[in-house]
Structure 1
């Protein structure tokens, strides 16, 4: 889950050292500001402010958090101000291609702010990496989000976000082995659920962590990673999933995380070479980029 709004509120309270003044600056009610601060305290697991007779005093945790995020919040505000200044010149339909799981679970703020910032409407095209890049080539899509590196001879792109790969197993079998050393040899005794026969995320994890291939029996193949997570939660085998898809289920115990955290992958914002000459596509690129690292900042 993204906490950009709450972080913005936190930075304002930190700078004002006063909830009433921060609420006035943000155009919010004092209870709403207090709720945002409580949310951030829940996220970081420590108090951020101490109440005083006049205002609030930042804790050491608040000083540390402000040092890490305040400059990023300022840059984000500057970008949004710049984008809104030219939003009236942008209108029409924007076609965006991307993977179902990232669009469903992470991209909400990116798409919502795109709709709010300009006079456009959006059509989302869901697909795998082949479909996504083909849609840019044949111009079915104007811009795309992709979890695979684009061909630099065909596309321009920038890193939009990052995902961490996690090895997860159903809770019944996972609890039996979660406290012992996890190896490729051990996992060979369990079924694996995968995106396709090439075991893309699983192969990447095994190469990096175990320096060998996966030899588990493939019990199910499903080209939707959300369905893979659902099968595992229902008690079937194990797999390797992006962190944003399994983070909450690990916290609730519905999935058991095993072994070390896996490699980090880039999520790319991609457009066909020369496409930014179209104002609508350039506008979309700027808005979506302004809300980069939604998943990365949630870790």
Structure 2
């Protein structure tokens, strides 16, 4: 059996072409070095050095083996470094799930942060709703998720990474479009487009809870899962809606956004979720980088 120690001894002799100098380079005496070379030749079944000459010379087999030995030691060194980087979270891969609305502001900043701080970690992004993300986390199909609260799941940790107010979105021809700001009461009797109670449970509960608290009754209600689909239907004149303010970054020519007054204490929250205890060191590193970035108020400004 050939060992890495034998390869190192062999290459030291090849580099020095002198057993004594090679032994000094390896901080060992010459007899154990000679025994390592003899054991290597025995394992290979062929002489690597020509011992008939006064000077140390490689045989043809020795020349060929030296090239292979250097590649083996280089690959071994690379493997060790790769393992250390992965163990430290500086390399490897991350699969991150995200909700559609999180892609408007937070996701691009998050991806840019990871690429800057963890350039050797490959990223895979998958769009999922919050319920799907929890299932995927439990099944170890994803490493992290950008999800909506609440997350009350054994073995899943979470961190609030973004919060934003709600905005009113109207057809640009709507009578209320002339107002600078709107109150919830202004939406009474309007046809309403909002998130469904199952697939979009977080926003559905948040918005219907607001309307109920203010005693606002809307007319016909239509449920749509994705924010950009809600904007499209509003633009088609089918109703009005409440959406997270980050949706204002989605450009629809036929809609206008209005700030909602009187509910300053109500926000839509976004959570970063991951398994705990974690089995991917890159995940722990990503959390650390996000925590550090969130200390700077300019990061998400």
TM bucket normalised to smaller = 0.5 to 0.7
Structure 1 unaligned residues grouped into runs of 5+: 1-85
Are 1:132 and 2:133 counterparts?
yes
Cα deviation, residue 90, structure 1: 2.6
Match of residue 283 from structure 1:
285
Aligned length in residues: 212
Are 1:233 and 2:238 counterparts?
no
Are 1:187 and 2:210 counterparts?
no
CA contact (8 A) 1:244 1:295 kept: no
Cα deviation, residue 219, structure 1: 5.1
Match of residue 258 from structure 2:
257
**In the aligned structure 1, how far is the partner of 2:260 from the partner of 2:172?**
14
CA shift in 2, pair 1:231/1:105, >3 Å: farther
CA contact (8 A) 2:167 2:242 kept: yes
Cα deviation, residue 200, structure 1: 4.9
Comparing both structures, which one devotes a greater share of its residues to helix? 1
Structure 2 unaligned residues grouped into runs of 5+: 1-84
**In the aligned structure 2, how far is the partner of 1:100 from the partner of 1:294?**
25
Cα deviation, residue 113, structure 1: 2.6
Scaled by the length of structure 1, the TM-score of the pair is 0.59
Are 1:271 and 2:277 counterparts?
no
Q: Note the 1:51-130 alignment, pairs <5 A.
A: 90-116=90-116, 117-130=118-131
**In the aligned structure 1, how far is the partner of 2:274 from the partner of 2:145?**
6
SS in 1 for 2:132: helix
SS in 2 for 1:291: helix
**In the aligned structure 1, how far is the partner of 2:184 from the partner of 2:112?**
42
**In the aligned structure 2, how far is the partner of 1:295 from the partner of 1:261?**
25
Scaled by the length of structure 2, the TM-score of the pair is 0.58
Give the RMSD, CA atoms, in angstroms.
3.6
Q: Which has the larger radius of gyration?
A: 2
After alignment, is 190-199 or 135-144 more displaced? Answer: 190-199
Match of residue 294 from structure 2:
292
CA shift in 2, pair 1:222/1:295, >3 Å: farther
